Each structure stands twice: as structure tokens, then as C-alpha cells.
Structure 1
Amino acid sequence: MATETIKLQAEARTQFGKGAARKIRRDHKIPAVMYGHGAEPVHITLIGHDAMMALKNPNALLTIVLDGDEQMALAKDVQRDPIKPVIEHIDLVIVRRGEKVTVDVPVHVEGEAGPETVVTVDNPTLQVEAEATNIPESLTVSVEGLEAGTQILASEVELPSGSTLVSDAELLVVNITQQISEEALEAELAEAEAEAGIEHDESDEEAAEAAEAEGEGDAEGGESEGDSEEKSEDA
């Protein structure tokens, strides 16, 4: 079944440079460039909110509508503001129906592994080749009931029909290990700190316990000394 495309209205862009880009963003639009298949790069602007919603799925198949013409494209590179939730620029690559493309697809883990285990996703995405109109949104890996020591490699992840694996087949995707106890974790941490030469100041609670233990020791020592004196007097 072909993937539905998301239509985005575009306008031609004739002004360039940082100043022009800032003005475009102030108008709640996003500067973009569309290229591929030997065509000259086309500089456009997209409506900011619509583009951000569409690109919640990074592999969304887009239909760019420019001056009444429609062109299918994928987001090749999305530049985002490092602080604000704003897209600064989008590179779009033109695709054709039936054409195969290579994309990174997120891995979704479902189910609960065996008791006292920890599930670690070592690689959250896999690179696959698929038709541009049939790109999977995600790849599902079930860990239901799996025991500690189980490892799931890229070659073991089920791909939808029409998709082939590009990532290394031996790539570790999911690793299931034995859950470490709190005592063992504290012991490992203490050993690592000792090797690193890290020393901690004695806490108030530890100081109080040490003082209490010392006081009990003095009391026992005093009783023993008194007993010795009584025995000497009796003799």
C-alpha cells in the first residue's frame, strides 16, 4: 500500500542571505531548497507550522505545491535552532514514484523482558532501503519474556515487505542484561571511586555512629578495669 503524502504549500524565494532568512522566520515561514534528479535547485519558503507538523515523522513523504505544480520530496536535512523549537532551514530531495531511497528508521521496543532484567537499546535507528512511497514509520522489536543475556542484532529485526537492511547485519540493536542489585551497585561505585582516588567527607550520620561505637568500647573497657580492681582488693 502506497504511503500517503503530506501536502505543503510553497512560495518561490528570490532573496537570500542571513538577513532575508531572518525576515522569512519572522513571518513564521521556513526557508528551504529542493533538488535532485538533475534538476536545478529550487529555493522556496514553507509555512512554518505546517512544515513542523509534517516533519514530526522525519521520513514523511511530502508533496510540495509550488505555483500549481506538485513535486514529491523527502526531507534530507533539517536544521533546527539549538535552543528554541524552531526549524531554521530544510533541504528537500526530489523523489519519484517507484524509486528506492535509503533512510534511517526508528526502532520501537515493545513488551516486557523477563524478571530482574534491564533492556538497553544500543541503536535506536536502522538504515533501510525502501520505495519512496512505502517507507516504514518504525521497526518493532518485541522483548516479551526474553531472559538476561539475550541480544537482538539488526539481521533479526523484522522488516516490512519491500524494505531491505542497509545497516550492518551484526549491529547490536537491543541488549538484555541482568539487573544489578543496589548493594552490588554501591560496591562497584565504591571500588571505582577508590581506584580513582576519590575520598568522601564523613557524613554526620557516619560520625555519630562512629562516636557511639567508640563510647560503647570505652564503657566496656571501664567495666573491665573496675572488675580487675575489685579482684585485687579481694585477694
Structure 2
Amino acid sequence: MSEVKIPAALRTEFGKGAARRIRRADQVPAVIYGHGAEPKHVSVPGHELLLALRTANVLISLEIDGKSELVIPKAVQRDPIKGFLEHVDLLSVKRGEKVNVEIPVTAEGELAPGGNLLEHVLAALPVEAEATHIPEGVTVSVEGLEAGASVLAKDIALPKGTTLAVDGDAVVIQVVAAQAEEAPEEGEEEAEGAAEEAPADEAPADEA
């Protein structure tokens, strides 16, 4: 995984008012945690950070006061309506260090005929990997799987140096049988038949 270099600035103002001012300047308030150090409050260019976060578990090299600090995103808060970044928690990492992260799981292939449905029980797979070699994701083949079949965590091939951080018997993907349309109840059928057979109302004799 390549590193994304982004400049950052230490910040000393906190609270909602300060956060709004930072965002108005096209910056995103962020906090860096990790290695037992005191949390470090920074502001990061919003556009550059937004582009970087398109990659899951992206490795970011923050340039702060002439020094570089490696971080990965841990929690991202977005505006629920407009979707812009409101706040980001970052985890400080070191080269060679192992970290626990979740990587996306993508299914490929066609299920067996029958209109069955594919359910992602785990949309992301918990793994342990070297901080500078976190996989962008894993792909699982579901080709030909029938209803009732499932893919377990231990069935997924992981890149070298990456291990599971979840029980190997955990279900990641399963195939659910398609539900047949419910037949109308007997009472409903009788009512529909009676409505079809009922003759049209005759006009009153005095109006003929």
C-alpha cells in the first residue's frame, strides 16, 4: 500500500465554534491517537483527506511542523445530509507494527440458478496486518453456490502477512433461499370470485 502525503497543522482551539471555523476554511478537525501518547489535535485539508479516504485503511503520512507521522483512519464522521467530512480520528502507526483493522469483502461470480439471494453477514473482515501493508480488501468467489451455502472466515485466502482477527468459523457470506410469493388465503379467493360474478346493478324501474 502506498503512502498518501497530506499536510496538517496543530490546532489549539476546540469546541463546536472552532470546528465550524476550521470547516469553513476547507479543513477537517482531526485527532491523532496511539502509542500511549497524549492525543494530538490537528486540522487537515478537506479535499485531500476526502480523496485519501476513498481507499479503505489508507496509510497517510501527515506532514506536521516539518515532521512526518504515519496514521491510518479509525473513525470518520460525515454530515448525514451533505456527506462532507466533519471529524476524523486517526491512529498513529509505525513501520513493522501490527494493527487490527477491517478490510472490505467483495463477492464475485454467479449463484446457482433459482433466484437465491446473497447476504453479507460481515461486510468487512477483521484482520491483523502490518501497518504499512494493509490489504485493500479480499475477493470471495460465490460461483455456483446454492441456498444454504456459506463462506466462513477461515475459507478466505488472505495475503501474506495478514491473519484473521475473528473466529475462523464466523460466517462472512451466506446464500439465502428466495422466498416464494405467498398464495392468497381461501377467504380472499372466495371474495374475489364473488366480486367477479356479481351482476351490475339494475337501474330503478321509475327511471327506465
**Which TM-score band (shorter chain)?**
0.7 to 0.9
Q: Do residues 101 (structure 1) and 124 (structure 2) align?
A: no
Q: Report matched runs for 1:85-124 at 5 Å.
A: 85-116=83-114, 117-124=116-123
| Runs of at least 5 residues in structure 1 that lack an aligned partner in the other structure | 192-198, 216-235
Q: Distance in 1 between matches of 2:196 and 2:144?
A: 49
Work out whether residues 111 and 143 of structure 2, in 8 Å CA contact, stay in contact via their aligned partners in 1: yes
Q: Which of 5, 9, 14 is the equivalent residue of 2:7?
A: 9
3-state DSSP class of the match of 1:53? helix
After TM superposition, the score normalised by the length of structure 2 is 0.86
Instruction: Please tell me the residue identity of whatever aligns with 2:176.
Output: T
1:64-83 CA distance string (max 9 Å, x none): 01122111011122122222
Match of 2:30 in 1: 32
Shift of 1:57: 2.2
Percent identity of paired positions between Structure 1 and Structure 2 = 48
Q: Which of 174, 177, 181 is the equivalent residue of 1:185?
A: 181
3-state DSSP class of the match of 1:56? coil
3-state DSSP class of the match of 2:194? helix
Shift of 1:14: 1.8
Which of structure 1's runs of 4+ aligned residues deviate more than 4 A? none
Match of 2:205 in 1: none
Q: How many residues align?
A: 197
Distance verdict in 2 for CA 1:16–1:161, change over 3 Å: same
After TM superposition, the score normalised by the length of structure 1 is 0.77
C-alpha RMSD of the superposition = 2.3
Work out whether residues 95 and 131 of structure 2, in 8 Å CA contact, stay in contact via their aligned partners in 1: yes
Which range is displaced more, 117-126 or 65-74? 117-126
Work out whether residues 32 and 40 of structure 2, in 8 Å CA contact, stay in contact via their aligned partners in 1: yes
Instruction: Please tell me the residue identity of whatever aligns with 1:168.
Output: D
Match of 2:145 in 1: 146
Match of 2:136 in 1: 137
Q: Distance in 1 between matches of 2:128 and 2:160?
A: 11
Which structure exhibits the higher relative contact order, with contacts defined as CA atoms closer than 8 Å and separated by 6 or more residues?
A: 2
Shift of 1:114: 0.9
Work out whether residues 126 and 164 of structure 2, in 8 Å CA contact, stay in contact via their aligned partners in 1: yes
